[in-house]
Amino acid sequence: MSPFVELTFQGSIARLGLKRPDKLNALDRDMVEALGEAARAIEASRETRVAILFGEGKAFCAGGDIAAWGDLPALDMWRDWTRAGHRAFEALARLRVPLIAALTGHAFGGGLELAAVADVRIAERGIKLGLPETGLGMAPGWSGTQRLVRRFGASVVRRMALTGCLFTAEEGCELGLVDEVTDGGQALTRAESLASDVAARGPLAVQIVKAMINSAEGEDSDVPIEGLAGALTATTDDLAEGVAAFRGKRAPRFVGH
């Protein structure tokens, strides 16, 4: 784990924090890898019912640290940096449990792409949201033109990516980039309250509903469908008979229930 990424568990709630405030929580390679590791740890925790993602300081996340990718050759940019970010972000987006992002500061570029993996985004008044990459002569690399379009719509992504315009938290709420706006210093508190509400509901139902919504949105269609099919067949007498027949080296006698 990177020293700038901290994962803690308390009861049924996991908290994933970016802790590099002096660099506006800009992501280096170790931080990207740590986000993926954190997603796997959350996934492995059977006690966890919901997770909160946040950043310390004035920024939620300012995107990828230019020092980490600015001098990379083109092929290394693709093979290493871009694909590593996709692996980590997809692991977070496809978490079994809901993920709530508390935007206590600005979310730019890869930071907004990171916020987009969450199921719910709570933003504080005064923060800004945007995709400034084309101003640097590059394109969004961590699903800014894909996941963001699916979740927020092509029109709003075009405005940010093609013109470099920044949206306030209030504008972002009107456009669907964030779900709620709070006063300064309150986003994390609100995220905690919402996480408690989620954790109090039926955990299996919540996880199944999240999987189905992800599937409908195009986030991940194969795993929910096949996962639910597998879970359904696992409850049947036919599967028990099939396993028993295999172990007994005999032909199965299926009964259809």
**Residues designated catalytic:** 113, 133
Cα–Cα distance, 227 to 229 (Å, whole number): 5
The string of DSSP codes covering 20-45 is -GGGTT-B-HHHHHHHHHHHHHHHH-
User: Where are the alpha helices (H) located in the chain, listed in sequence order?
Assistant: 29-44, 66-69, 74-76, 83-93, 110-115, 147-152, 154-163, 169-175, 187-199, 203-217, 222-234, 237-248
Q: Which residues pair with 53 in a beta bridge?
A: 16, 101
Cα–Cα distance, 210 to 42 (Å, whole number): 15
Residue type, 193: S
* Best CA proximity match to 120, nearest among 13, 185, 198, 49: 198
Q: In what order do the strands lie in the sheet with 120-124?
A: 5-10, 13-18, 50-55, 99-103, 120-124, 180-182
Cα–Cα distance, 28 to 22 (Å, whole number): 13
CB within 8 Å of 168: residues ≥ 6 apart: 125, 126, 127, 128, 129
Tell me which residue has tokens 């961590």. 142
